[in-house]
Amino acid sequence: MASLPPTINFAKAEEEVCKKWKDEDTFKTQIELSKERNDKQFTFYDGPPFATGLPHYGHILAGTIKDVVTRYACMTGHSVSRRAGWDCHGLPVEYEIDQSLNITHRDQVLEMGIDKYNAECRSIVTRYTKEWESTTNRLGRWIDFENDYKTMDLSFMESVWWVFEQLYKKDLVYQGYKVMPFSTTCGTPLSNFEAGLNYKDVKDPAVVVSFPVLGDDGEPDAEEGSFIAWTTTPWTLPSNLALCVHPELEYVKIQDTKTGNKYILAKSRLPQLYPVMNNKKKWKPAKAADFFTVLSSCKGKDLVGKRYKSLFDFFKADSYFRVLSDTYVTDDSGTGIVHQAPAFGEDDYRVCLAHGVIQKGGEIPCPVDSNGVFTDQVPVVAGKHVKAADDTLIQILKDAKRLVQKDVLLHSYPFCWRSDTPLIYKAVPSWFIKVEEIRDRIVENNHKTYWVPNFVKEGRFHSWLVDARDWAVSRNRFWGTPIPIWALDDMSEIICVGSIEQLYELSGVKCTDLHRESIDHIEIPSKTQPGKKLKRIDEVFDCWFESGSMPYAQLHYPFENKDTFESGFPADFIAEGLDQTRGWFYTLMVLSTALFDKPAFKNLICNGLVLASDGKKMSKRLKNYPDPKLLIDEYGADALRMYLINSPVVRAESLAFQESGVKGVIKEVFLPLYNAFRFLMQNMERWESINNTVFSPDLDKVKNTNNSTDVWISAATQSLIKFVHTEMKAYRLYTVMPALVRFISQLTNWYLRLNRDRLKGMVENENAEIGLQVLYDVLLDVSVLMGPFTPFISEFLYQHLRKKQPSYNPEGNDGKSNPPAVGKSDSVHFLHLPKYDESRLNSDAMNSMEALQSIVELGRTARERRNISLRTPIKSVVVVLRDPAPQLVASLMGPLKEYILNELNAWDFKIVSKEEENQWVKMSLTPVFSLLGKKAGKKMGLVKKTIVGLTHEEALKALETGEIDVDGLIIDTKTEVTSKLSFSKTEPHWESTSLPDGSSVVAIDCTQDEAIISSGKSREFINIVQQLRKSAGLTLTDKVEVFFKEEGSDVLKAVMQNVDLFKSKFHGTVPIPADDHKQKLSVVLGQEKAEIGDTKVEVMICRPTIAVKDNTEEALMTFLATLDVEKKEKGSKISCKIDGKDIVVEEGKDFWWSAMDKAQGTGSLKWL
C-alpha cells in the first residue's frame, strides 16, 4: 500500500487531480458525453462578475453553490451549458480609469476624446480574468472560459438593443426625471455607490420657515396660523411645491407666548422651537404656558389637502402648495413637517408624483444648472452657486417675516470623490422603464418561481416588487452600451433602433462596434422634417440593464441560437447573494416579464454574506480574513467548499468565516473518510494475499449478507442516496451536507469500529470478504454521491476503487465513451449518481442501530461517572426502553447483543420487560406550564401536585388513556404534560443515565470483584502489545511471541484467568513469563516497561523462534533458530550435521515450534 500513506496532504492530492482533469480535458469530455447521449437540457444563468478585481469569499461561495447544482444536474442525466461571463461596463471600470488618469471632471473626458477614454476602459476590463480562471479551476468549479461572453461584445450589445427596442414598441419606455447625487463641479450625476465614497463633517445653515395657511378666499387666515418646516438646504426653498406630514403623527396648533404667532407642527417636535424642553432637569410641563399655548391637535392625515401661501412666486400651478402625507416623515428631528422640492429630493419627487403635484414624464421646476448655479428662473439669486445663495435667501425670508428660526448644524455630508466638493441631489433627465405598469405581472411571475430560502422570495423580494417604481435605465457616462434612441433636438421625432442591420438601413452606416466612439457620429435622416437629422441621445445603459438582458444577450438572441434559447427559457437555476434581490434578480424578473410575461428563472438559491471572523465586513485594508489562495493551498478546495455549504450562509444568513472551520472539515470528515478507505484497501490486499485470488466486487454478496451491521450500513447508504436526491431536487444544499457529514461519522465511528477485527479476518466463523464487499460498495456509492459537492476527494477515491471493477481497462480507450460505467469511465464525473435501492432500505435496521448507539453512549457516560476505564469490564448492562417495538428488542438481544457487550466491555446485557419495569424505573409526569397556566388558572397548584404525585403505574395508565382528570379539569397527556423514565434502584453498585426525554434508561453494575479486575488487567496488557506491534511496523498477519517480566505475580494471574481472550487476540498464542521461557536467540521486535494495575511489568514481542530443550548445544540451537517455524508438524524429525557429526532431533522431545509449545509440552506452565 505504498501509494496510500498513513496521512495525506489533501491540497497536494487535489492539485494532482486538477492536472489530470486538464491533461485529459475531463470537463469538455463530460459535456461531449452528455450531448452524445442527448441528455435533457438544464439551463443555468451565471451572473457576470467584474474582472477588475480578484475573486473573494463571496464569489467562491456563490461559485461553489453554482458548481454543486450544475454538477448534480450533469450527474443525473442533464446537459448543462456553463459559460463564464464578464460584466465589462459601468462605474467600477470608469472609477479605476478616472483614478489612474486623475480625471475629476466630465469635460476632461470630452477633451481627451471618448474614443481614447473608452480604449483605456477596454484595456482593464479583463485584467484579472486569468486570476479568476486559475482560482475557479483550483476551486474545482467547472465553467467554460474558452467560450465566455462579455457585456462589451458586439453580439451582446446588439441583443441589449433588441431588448430595449421591444420595450419601446410596447410603450414601456419614457423620458422623465430621476433625483440623483450630483457633482456641480464635474457637472455630472453620481451613483449611490460614488456618493458614499467621501463623507465629511460640515456646518450648514438650519432654518425653520413658516407657510401661512390659506382660507377659503385664498388669502392667509391668521386664525389658522402657519405650518412650519425645517431644512438644512435653504437653497431648495425657491423650488418648494408642497409640504408633507406623517399621516399618524399627532400635530398641534400652538400660539407662541412671546410673539403671538400661531404655528402648526408635530407635538413631539415642540423642542425644535423651544430647546429648553430637551433639558429634563429644568423643564416641567407647568412651564409650558411661559412659552406657548396648545390651541388644538389632530392627526397628520387631517391636515392633508390644506393649502398655504408659497414662499416665492417663481413657479405656479394649481397642483402646487398643499399638504401631502407619507410615512417617510419622522419626528426624530425638525418639525415633523417636510418641505417638498421634487427637483432636489428623491422622496420629495416620489411623494409629489404620487399625489399628483407633478406628472410622470412632465417638467418639474429645477432652476439650477449642471454647474449648481441658479438660472434666471430665480432672479434674486441668478448666477449664484446654490451653496453661496443660502445667505441671500435666508435674508429675503427674514425680511418677509417667514423666517422663524435660524441655526447652524454640524452633520456628515457627501462630497464628490473626484472634485472633493459638496454634492447636491438634483433631478436629471432619465429614460425609464414603466415597471409600475407591469408590476402586478412581475409579482405574479415571482409566485411561479421557487426560492431557497423561501422567506427571501416571500419577504424581502416580494416587498421590493410590490413597491417597485419605474426604473431609470440611463446614465450620463461613456463606457457602456449606448441607448439606441435617435431623435431630433426637440424630441418631436424619435426612432428606437433594435439591431445593427436596422441602423444600417436607416443611416447607411454599417457598424462593427456599438460603443459611443463608433456610433455617436451616425445621423438618421428625418422622415417628418426633410433636411433635418436625428442624432443619438447622449446616455448609455445602466449596467444593470445589461446584466438583466444576459439570458438573451449571451446567446445573441434573437439573431442567433433562437431554438436553443427558447427551449431553455426560463432558466432552470440561478444563484447569487442576498444583495441581488434589488439587483440582478430584480432586473431579470422585470425584463423577462416585459418581454415574455414569464419569470427569467424557475429555481433560485440565495446565499448570505461571508463576514470576517469577528462578524465585520471583510476588508482588504484591515486584512481581517485569510487569503483564499493560501487557504486552499493549505487545506484544499474540497474542505473550503464543504465548510461553506455546511454553514448558515446557504440559507441566506451571514457567516463569520473561521479558518478553524475549514481545518475542522479535514479533521472531522476527510481524514476519517480517507482512513476508512485506506483500511478497506489494506484489508482487500490482505484478503487477496491470504486467499491467493483477486477481490472482485459482488453486489449479490452485499445484498445477501445476514450481518446486522452490514444490513444497517447498506440501508443507511441507500437512505442517504434517497435523501440527497430528494433534497437536491428541492435545492436544499444546507440539508445535504449535514447528512453527508453524519453518514461519514456513522461509517467511520460505528460501522468500522464494530467490525474492525472482522474485516481484518480476526474473528472466527465470520467471513471477512462479506464485510469487505459491503464496505467497498458503501465507499463506492459515497465517492460517487459526493461528486457534485467535493469533486476532488470523490475523484481520488474513485480512481482507486475503480481498479477493482471487472470493466476497468487501463490499456483501453473506452474510458471516455458512453454509456458511463463504474470502472470503465475515466472520471467519477462521467458517471450518473447512484439511485437508491428500495429493497435495501430497512427502517428496522436503522432503528436498531440508533438504539444500539444510544445504549452504548449512555453506558459510557455511566462508566465515566464512576471513573471506570473501558478496559475494565463491567458485570452487566440493564436497559429500559419506553414501548420498544418487538423487532427492536429481538435485534438488540439477538445479533446486536455481542456488539453492545464488546463496546461496553460488559459480561451481560438485559432489556427489562414491561412487566419488570416498575422494579427498575419510575415513570414521572410534569405539567407543561406554558400550556396549562391559562387553562388551569387557580387550579394550577392542584394540577401540579396531582400530576407530579402519580405513581409509576398511574402515570403509565394516564399516558395510555391520553388524559388525567384533576377536579373536573381534563389534562391531555399527549400535549400538556411531559413524561420521563428515571432509574429507581438505590443500591450503590448501580450507576445509571438516561436520554434527555427520558425514553431510555441505561444502568450498569459497577461491582469490582477479582474476575473483573483480572480481565481489566488483561485488556491493558493487550493494548500494550498492540501498540508495540504498531511501533514495530507489523502487519495483521505477522505473528509474534509475547513475553513479560513482573515484580510479583498479579499479571501472571490475570493471564492465567484469561487465556481464551489472549488466544483470540494474539493468533492463538498467550503471553508467558520471559524467565525460563524466552529463548536465548529470540529476536526482540519491541519492548516496553509499563504499569498494569499497580504492578510494574516489562512486555516484549519477539519474532517466532524454535524453543529447544535445556542444555542444548549452541551450534544446534543456532541451526534450529534458522528454520521456518510456520512448517509445524507434530513429532517431526530434523536431520543435520554439526561439527561433522550427524544429529537427528525430534519435535516434542528435543525442540518445540514455540516457547508456548515447550511450556505446554514440558508442563512447566500447567495452566496452559
CA distance 297 to 179: 34
Which is catalytic among the residues 620, 623, 1089, 1128? 620
Write the single-letter amino acid at 341: A
Which is catalytic among the residues 340, 580, 746, 773? 580
Q: Which three cell numbers stand for residue 820?
A: 458511463
Pairing, β 1151-1152 against β 1141-1146: unpaired
Helices (H), 404-561: 439-447, 454-455, 462-466, 500-507, 516-519, 543-548, 550-553
Q: Residue for cell digits 474545482?
A: 140
Spatial contact of 144 and 83, defined as CB atoms under 8 Å apart = yes
Q: Which residues of 636-667 are buried (b: 16+ CB within 10 A; e: fewer)?
A: bbbbbbbbbbbbebbbbeebbbebebbeebbe
Q: Is 87 considered catalytic here?
A: yes
Give CA 712 to chain center in angstroms: 30
Spatial contact of 341 and 364, defined as CB atoms under 8 Å apart = no
Which is catalytic among the residues 22, 170, 448, 617? 617
Q: Which three cell numbers stand for residue 971?
A: 389534562
Q: Is 544 considered catalytic here?
A: yes
Helices (H), 536-669: 543-548, 550-553, 562-567, 584-596, 628-635, 637-645, 659-665
Pairing, β 403-414 against β 144-150: unpaired
Q: Residue for cell digits 514440558?
A: 1162
Q: DSSP letter for 86, please.
A: E
CA distance 919 to 56: 63
Q: Residue for cell digits 458614499?
A: 196
Tally of helices (H runs) and strands (E runs) in the chain = 43, 44
Q: Is the dihedral of CA 339, 341, 344, 346 positive or negative?
A: positive
Q: Is 99 considered catalytic here?
A: no
CA distance 775 to 676: 9
Spatial contact of 860 and 986, defined as CB atoms under 8 Å apart = no
* Residues comprising the chain, all counted: 1168
Q: How far, in Å, are 755, 851, 859, 865, 1009 from residue 904 at the CA level?
A: 15, 14, 7, 14, 17
Which is catalytic among the residues 48, 205, 820, 1071? 48
Q: What is the 3-state secondary structure (H, E, C) of 859-910?
A: HHHHHHHCCCCCCCCECCEEEEECCCCHHHHHHHHCCCHHHHHHHHCECCEE
Q: Is the dihedral of CA 626, 631, 634, 635 positive or negative?
A: positive
Which is catalytic among the residues 161, 479, 584, 1152? 584
Spatial contact of 569 and 551, defined as CB atoms under 8 Å apart = yes
Q: Is 580 considered catalytic here?
A: yes
Q: What is the 3-state secondary structure (H, E, C) of 662-691?
A: HHHHHHHHHHHHHHHHHHHHHHHHHHHHHH
Q: How far, in Å, are 446, 602, 1147 from residue 441 at the CA level?
A: 8, 16, 98
Q: 1068: buried, middle or exposed (CB in 10 Å: 19+, 13-18, 0-12)?
A: exposed
CA distance 511 to 514: 7
Which is catalytic among the residues 87, 390, 542, 781? 87
768-785 vs 752-759: helix crossing angle, rounded to 10: 130
Pairing, β 1072-1073 against β 337-340: unpaired
Which is catalytic among the residues 230, 544, 687, 712? 544
Q: Which of 79, 170, 87, 68 is nearest to 550 (CA)?
A: 87
Write the single-letter amino acid at 917: E
Q: Is 620 considered catalytic here?
A: yes
- Reduce the DSSP state of residue 578 to 3 states and report it: helix
Q: Is 897 considered catalytic here?
A: no
Instruction: Collect all residues with Cβ–Cβ distance below 8 Å to 966 and sequence separation of at least 6.
Output: 936, 939, 942, 943, 946, 947
Q: Which three cell numbers stand for residue 683?
A: 484489508
**Which residues are known to be catalytic?**
48, 87, 544, 580, 584, 617, 620
